[in-house]
Amino acid sequence: MNLKDLKNRHITYDWKTIFVGVQDNYFSKDVISEYAVELLEIDDESGFVSELAWGVSNEDLDKVMLEIKTRYFPQLDEEGTILVEENRKLRFVCLSIIKENCKGDNELLNKIAEFYGNHHYPEDMVSFVNYMPQEVPTMKKELVNRFDIFLKLESVRFS
């Protein structure tokens, strides 16, 4: 996933989004530089942003992430609602991409299940994860319908 995916869905983003995205593996570290270049193009010429535009090495990533948090949102708790909302925004984009790229219901449900397992088992996704027990026996079509409803609600939330 990259910043273009957010732009294509008219999702706003800032350093909090970048931080959460890199931290939770929605983005590679290269998105930090990509965003820094965007900021330079709109006249943010701080030394820190200019430095980030040149790239971030693997060795410096933890230090850069701490610096981003310290500079741009030091008061925010990483478990607080603002950063949780950023994660939810990124999850919506990622799940939208999964939906667009899957050819059939089986592939879609398997990708959703993979995402679910890789992202700390979000409780609000249980109703459409194919390996999770459901209250009543559920067919594939119903799981896909639940997923579609979930995505529509998330879309409204972030538009």
| C-alpha to C-alpha distance for 38 and 53, rounded to whole angstroms | 9
Domain check: are 117 and 60 in the same one? no
Provide the pLDDT for residue 153.
Answer: 96
The last residue of a domain, from among 50, 72, 94: 72
Task: Please indicate, yes or no, if residue 93 is contained in any of the structural domains.
Answer: no
Task: Please indicate, yes or no, if residue 92 is contained in any of the structural domains.
Answer: no
| C-alpha to C-alpha distance for 45 and 93, rounded to whole angstroms | 29
Provide the pLDDT for residue 135.
Answer: 85
Domain check: are 16 and 58 in the same one? yes
Scan for tokens 């700390």, then name that residue: 120
Task: Please indicate, yes or no, if residue 26 is contained in any of the structural domains.
Answer: yes
Task: Please indicate, yes or no, if residue 97 is contained in any of the structural domains.
Answer: no
Provide the pLDDT for residue 75.
Answer: 87
Q: Are 16 and 76 in contact (CB under 8 A)?
A: yes
Domain check: are 120 and 68 in the same one? no
Domain check: are 59 and 112 in the same one? no
| Tokens at 50, concatenated | 């200019």
Task: Please indicate, yes or no, if residue 51 is contained in any of the structural domains.
Answer: yes
DSSP alpha helix (H) spans, 54-130: 61-72, 81-101, 105-118
Tell me which residue range forms the domain holding 52: 3-72
Task: Please indicate, yes or no, if residue 34 is contained in any of the structural domains.
Answer: yes
Provide the pLDDT for residue 57.
Answer: 95
Task: Please indicate, yes or no, if residue 32 is contained in any of the structural domains.
Answer: yes
| C-alpha to C-alpha distance for 41 and 4, rounded to whole angstroms | 16
The last residue of a domain, from among 72, 90, 124: 72
| C-alpha to C-alpha distance for 38 and 104, rounded to whole angstroms | 36
C-alpha dihedral sign at 107, 111, 113, 114: positive
| C-alpha to C-alpha distance for 101 and 42, rounded to whole angstroms | 33
Domain check: are 23 and 62 in the same one? yes
The single-letter code of the amino acid at 67 is E
Provide the pLDDT for residue 76.
Answer: 82
Number of domains in the chain: 2
| C-alpha to C-alpha distance for 112 and 13, rounded to whole angstroms | 24
Provide the pLDDT for residue 38.
Answer: 94
Q: Count Cα atoms within 13 angstroms, Cβ side, for 129.
A: 16
Provide the pLDDT for residue 131.
Answer: 92
The last residue of a domain, from among 27, 53, 72: 72
Domain check: are 11 and 62 in the same one? yes
Strands (E), the chain: none
Each residue's pLDDT expressed in tens, for the chain with a length of 159 residues: 999 999 999 999 999 999 999 999 999 999 999 999 999 999 877 899 999 999 999 999 999 999 999 999 988 877 778 889 999 999 999 999 999 999 999 999 999 999 999 998 999 999 999 999 888 878 999 999 999 999 999 999 998
Task: Please indicate, yes or no, if residue 91 is contained in any of the structural domains.
Answer: no
Provide the pLDDT for residue 95.
Answer: 98
